[in-house]
Each structure stands twice: as structure tokens, then as C-alpha cells.
Amino acid sequence: MPLPTVVQVVVDKPLSQGFDYLWDLEKLGLPPEIGHIVEVPFGRSSLVGMVIKVSTHSDFEIDKLKTVTQVAPLVPIDPAALRLMNFASQYYIHALGETIIPTIPQMWKKALDWEKIPKKLVAAEEKKKKTISELNSEGLIGEDDLNEEQKSALAKLRNYSSKGKEFKAILLQGQTGSGKTAVFLNWLSEVLKSSTSQVLLLVPEINLTPQLERRVRAYFPEKKMVVLHSGITEKERGIAWYEAVTGKAQIVLGTRLAALAPLPNLSAIVVDEEHDASYKQQDGIRYSARDLAIWRAHDVKIPILLSSATPSLETWLAAKAGRYEYIRLDQRAQGAHLPKVHLINTRDLRNQYSPGDSGKPKEKSPITKTLAYAISQNFRDKKQSLILINRRGYAPVLSCGACTWLSKCQQCSSYMVMHRAGALGKRPVLSCHHCGLVKAIPSHCPNCGNADLKTLGQGTQKIEDAIEGMWPDQRVLRVDTDSSRSSKGAEELFQEIHEGKVDIVVGTQMIAKGHDYQNIGLVGVLDADGRLFSQDFRAAERLFAQLVQVAGRAGRSGKDGQAGGDIYIETQYPESAVFQYLLRHDVDGFLSHTAKEREEAGLPPFSYQALIHAESKSLDKAIQFLSTLKGHLKSNGLIKTGLRVYDPVPKAVMRVAGTERAQLVIESDSRKQLQEVLEAIDTELRENSQGRISKETRVRWLIERDPINI
Ligand code: ADP
Ligand code: ZN
Ligand code: ZN
């Protein structure tokens, strides 16, 4: 009798092993290969999985094995991509199947429709041919147009890519508008001269992609490019992914999920705004797309460029220490100076309106007199103003003036935010930004019946109202996730700014990044202090990066010698390090100050962290679960020198949608030691769980490596 063909298949389940199936060559029509996407019977139904091993024997009885039902009409995923998945699975303590399968677009996971795929691909190809519009040359800066500094950066980059088959991580650090994008696009165009090379360009967020997408297309009119992010339709994603996987697409532009796309001919990677928190996946397998991209570049021996005006401390230290190459751009490409930073001390009465001031608004002003005067002047100079406030909604909480009632969410340990009429619904509502609960505004205090309910604090909507009141003849636009969802898409809102249809923009961090506005003369920041003091040790680093970014929106087009606009920051603590380094545009000073603080405190990147998350209906149970785990680690001698296991604590937002959340921080001086203890924890917890829910107490748990929110 001939030997049977046995394949091992992984599926999207938190199970550490794969399952053996028989492969019927005659029925399936092709021999099995590692990386094939297949449909297999599973329990009483069927699942889509991936072949990870092919052999002729099984540890189980061959007669009892079930047979693979179908193979997807796709080439096997390339071995390098599987190595990446294997690494991610190990490093992030996540089963291989639940690491791989979620990265496959839905289109390739619906086995019922596999038959129809080839037709769909042909149709998409036809449609594309018809819709190829004229390419513009928006933002195209050719090699010859680069300034000296850019040229020398490009020459260095070329040197790394021409060596062939060598890993190199490079930090390209340059202030906003210094022409980093122009440099790396010219570099990629060189890499792409080979007709098979693929390049991966990672960007932080979807709202940044359209403008960059046009710019990239302008550089490579001849090349096939695909865009991968969560904002496209499942079908578009399925096709784009297919083109990436088969090597047809040479340029893959995408958000963090693109970091895991199989790319058989990958030749260079660029991570734009490498410090950005959105590279971190926050559910499922909690990976860092940047870190995985670096591992990937190392594995396939190619150069990877990390670009930023405010590099992450991790990357900056690596460049300083010579582990990464370090290239800097120190001028602004279009010659304008960096914006002038003004710190407005809100405690100083001279900055506030006093009775009799000219232009004093009727209502109490939510912004200082100093900032208001600057906005008026900026308008007279025919420039746009940008007001940043990191809180959407009208007011963060509604309160009763007669008793102590506050608009607390009944399901979460947070307050419900008031949204005015027209923002989320026809009427004003209270909305919880954690669980999504929306409620009508009570007409009377639910506690004492008092009809005089007041708002506390301010969000984008309230500022928008106030600003409209103060400058009735200026056109005000609000940009936040509410306005981009309820009216036009974000891109349309940005377009209005570009076209000069608005004078004052009020928005959240959505407006702070990437966009290359040409006529912003003033940036005002209203709520910086809220994030200065936070239990999260990375808060200051993030605030600094955001302020540098938003400052970079000002005065982009000011030509040589002209001032590059102004940024005004309202704060009660102008002496804080974040603001003082910003005042001097001293990114390196801030980073080295932060590095010193972290080193003294033994915090990352001078140590490595992991979180064990626990969720339950009862906080006690969640905490108890983590305490038991800690006890187990102690009694088994797993807490060795260099490893610190803290006490379990409730999370900052402890209760969300009725679920209580707690966490345990584990810290080590060594990556390897942390890995070992996490593997031990995973084994221990799994033994007593169904999936990731403990059998005894029904506590849901998850291990997170390198968390960025503590
Ligand atoms: P960064 O990525 O550092 O923010 P960009 O590459 O986006 O910088 O450049 C900022 C602006 O300057 C863009 O409008 C870009 O078109 C322009 N620019 C870049 N390089 C040059 C150059 N050499 N000459 C003129 N304009 C340039
Ligand atoms: Zn009351
Ligand atoms: Zn809630």
C-alpha cells in the first residue's frame, strides 16, 4: 500500500498544536505544499486553515484522520512570511493559527466562494484598466530637485541598498517638512528599478494615506501599487493582498496590518512616523508592526528605513549607539523657519481677559486673551488657524449644581461625554467613549430633580461654538472622528482646509499629523496639561511628539527668511521639560532627558515589560486570578534575579461595558528571561483554561508583550 500523505493544518483557535489531515491527491488535483490555504472539516462544521507541515505519517491513527476538502486557488504563502508568523507567534505568545489566519482577508477565507475567485480577479483587472486616470505629478520632487542635505541622505541610502542581501536598519531623523518623504521615495524608486522587487511602505493611520498615496503614485507611474488598510472593502483588500502575495504588486502601501502581508520579493521597507502609537495592534495578537518589520528586514536581509521627526526612544537610542545607521536632515526643505513656540501661562492674569478689554467676548472665553489676539492677527494676515484640543464631544461631563450627581456611565468607570445636537444624533446626547452607550440628556437631575444641569470642562464642539461666537465672520470647521463620520469623510474635511475654504480649524489629534497644509499660520494647543501628568510613563514622550507634529503644520510654505508660523500652548506648567525642550525645538535634548529618567527608573527601553490582562464580571475575581498567578510564579521559583512581578492592579479605566479589568506588570532586564517566564505563564494558564477563559473562575486572560499603555 502506498504511504498516505498527511498534512498538518493550523486554524484560527488559541490551540498550540496543528491538526493532521489526509491529502487526497486525486480529489484535490495538486500535491500539498507548506503555505497552502485549505478548507478542513472541524468538529461538526468546517474551517479554513493553513498547511504548515507535509509528511507521510501521523501520531494519530491514519484511519481516523479526516481529509482536506478544498485548496484555495492561490500559490502557497512564501516561506519567509511563514517564518515571520512563526516568530510573531512565539514572541507575542499567541498560537500560530490565530496569528496567521486573521491576516488572511475574508475573501480568501470563504471556501464556498473560492470557485468564483479567478473570475473576480479578471474582472477587477479589467475595471482597473478602464479607470486608470491621468497621473498628476503632485508632490513629485525628482532627484535633481533635492537639496544638498537630501542628496547626501539619498546617496547613503543607496549605498545600503546596492550592497545586496544585507540587513541594515536606518533612522532618518529630520524635523517636519525637512523633506524626508521626498528622500525615501527617491530611494524606493531606485530599489524598484529591478522589475521584480517589492517594497513595503508603512504609514500610521488611514487618514494619512490618500495624500501620501497620490504622492507615491506620482513617483512610480509605471509600477503596480496596492494599498492595504482597514478602511477599504473586503473585496478590495482581498485583491490587493492577492497582488502582494503573488508578487504582482511592487509597491505595498499600508497601515500596521500590511506589515504581515506575505511579499515574496521584498527588497526594502520604509516605516514612516516610526514612533507612532498606531503601529501597535491593540487587540488579538498585540504586535508592534514596526518591530515586526525590523525583524522581517533582518530575516530576509534587506534595508529598513525608520523615518520620524521625533523618533521613539528605542529607535533613537539604537541609532545613537550605532546599532542602526543614523541619517539626519536638519533644514526645512522649502526654506521656512520652524514655527516660533509661545508658552501661555494660564495662571498669569495678564493672559486672561479683564473687564473693559477690547474685544472681550460676552460669554466666558474658553481660550486666553493672548491666544485670541493672536488668532485675530493671523486672520488679518490671511492665514488659517488650527486649534488642537484632544477631547471630542461638547463637554467631558455633565453635572448637577445642587447635588453631587455626575454623568457617570452605568457600565463603565468613566463619565459620559455630552455631545450637542447634530453631532451624534438630532438631539444632544450623553455618550460613553469607552463602551459606546448613548443616552438622551436628562432634563432634570436624576438624583435630586434640579433642572439646572451644567457642563464641566470642554471638548471640540464647545470650543467650536465658542470660537464661532467670538469670530462670527470667520469660517470654522471642526475635525474629529464624530464630524468625519457624521458628515463628510475625513479626506473631504482636509480638502476644505487645503482649498482655503475655512479660516479656523478646531480638531483632535486627527489634524495634527502628516497633512501638508500650505497656509496654516497659527497653531493653538488647549489641553496639553491633561496629558502631562498621567500614570503612563510614556505620556510625556507622546505629548512631545504630538506637539512637534502639530507645530509642523504651521508655516510650511513660508519661504526663505520668512517666519514659519507660530504655535501657542496654553499651560499652567510652562516650566515642564516637555515645553522647555519644545521651546528650543530640541528633539535630541528631550530624548536624552527622557532616556536619563527611564534609565534611572529602570523603565523601557532599559527593561522589557509584559502585561497579563484579566477581565471578569467581578473585580475581586480578576485581581484574585492575577494574585494566584503571581503566587504560582513565586512558589515555582520562576521569579529569578532581574525579573520583577508587580502586584495586580485595576486598570486606569477599570470597568468597561460591565466588565472589570485588572492587570499584572512583569518586567525584566532581559528579553530572553521575560520570554521564558511568559511561556511558563502561558502553559500554566492554558492548562486551566478553555481557550483563554479560566475554567474555574471564568476570568478571561491575555498576555501582552511590549505594551505601550500601562
Ligand atoms: P517630511 O516628510 O520631512 O515632512 P516632505 O518630503 O513631505 O517632508 O517635504 C515637505 C514639503 O517640502 C513638501 O511639500 C515637499 O513637496 C517639499 N519638498 C521636499 N523636498 C523639497 C525640495 N528639495 N525642494 C522643494 N520642496 C521640497
Ligand atoms: Zn442633583
Ligand atoms: Zn461606558
Confidence of residue 532 (pLDDT cuts 50, 70, 90): confident
pLDDT tens for 168-190 read: 999 999 988 889 999 999 999 99
Ligand 1, atom 11: closest residue by C-alpha:
177
- Supply the residue whose CA is at minimum distance from atom 20 of ligand 1: 179
| Residue 379 amino acid letter | F
Q: pLDDT confidence of 494, banded at 50, 70, 90?
A: confident
Q: What's the chain's average pLDDT?
A: 91
Ligand 1 centre from 649 Cα, in Å? 47
Instruction: Give residue 49 CA to ligand 3 midpoint distance, Å.
Output: 36
Nearest-CA residue for ligand 1 atom 9 is: 179
Report the pLDDT value the prediction gives residue 556, as an integer from 0 to 100: 63
Residue 418 backbone phi and psi in degrees, to 5? -85, 130
Ligand nearest to the CA of 435: 3
What interhelical angle do 117-131 and 234-245 show, nearest 10?
90
Q: What pLDDT score does 124 carry? A: 85
Give pLDDT, residue 222: 86
In whole angstroms, what is the distance from residue 494 CA to residue 497 CA?
5
Separation CA 468–CA 202 (nearest Å): 38
Q: What is the pLDDT of residues 617-675, one digit of tens each?
A: 999 999 999 999 999 999 999 999 999 999 999 998 888 999 999 999 999 999 999 99
Taking alpha carbons only, the member of 296, 255, 247, 230 closest to residue 82 is 296
DSSP class of 696? T
Closest ligand 1 atom, residue 183 Cα: 6
- Ligand 1: residues with CB < 6 A are 139, 141, 145-147, 150, 174, 176-182, 333-334, 516
* Residue 527 alpha carbon to ligand 1 centre in Å: 30
pLDDT at 256 over 60: yes
pLDDT at res. 138: 63
Query: Looking at ligand 1, which atom is closest to the CA of residue 147?
Result: 23
Give this prediction's pTM. 0.93
**Is pLDDT above 80 for 157?**
yes
Instruction: Tell me how far apart the 2 most distant CA atoms of the chain are, in Å.
Output: 102
DSSP secondary structure string for all residues of 260-271: GS--TTEEEEEE
Give the number of whichever ligand sits closest to the CA of residue 414: 3
For ligand 1, mutation pick of 308, 334, 513 (most atoms within 8 Å of CB) = 334
Report residue 125's pLDDT band, with 50, 70 and 90 as the boundaries. confident
Q: Which atom of ligand 1 is nearest to the CA of 176?
A: 4
Cα separations (Å) of 475 from 307, 467, 566, 570? 35, 10, 20, 23
Of 558, 655, 667, 703, give the one whose Cα is nearest residue 177.
Answer: 558
Residue with the bigger pLDDT between 22 and 232: it is: 22
Task: Inform me whether the pLDDT recorded for 560 exceeds 60.
Answer: no
pLDDT-derived band of residue 1, with 50, 70 and 90 as boundaries? low
Among 591, 462, 433, which residue's Cα sits nearest to residue 526? 462
pLDDT confidence bin for 558, thresholds 50/70/90: low
Nearest-CA residue for atom 5 of ligand 1 = 179
DSSP 215-283: HHHHH-TTS-EEEE-TTS-HHHHHHHHHHHHTT--SEEEESGGGGGS--TTEEEEEEETTT-GGGB--S
- Ligand 3 centroid to residue 415 C-alpha, Å: 8
Cα 457 to ligand 2 centroid, rounded to whole Å: 18
Query: How much is the average pLDDT of 595-619?
Result: 96
Domains of the chain: 6-104 (3.40.1440.60), 135-329 (3.40.50.300), 340-393+458-600 (3.40.50.300), 395-457 (no CATH), 608-705 (3.30.70.600)
Contact 543, 532 (CB under 8 A): yes
**432 CA → ligand 1 middle, Å:** 40
- How far away, in angstroms, is 149 Cα from ligand 1 center? 12
Return residues with CB closer than 5 A to ligand 2 (ion). 400, 402-403, 405, 445, 447-448, 450
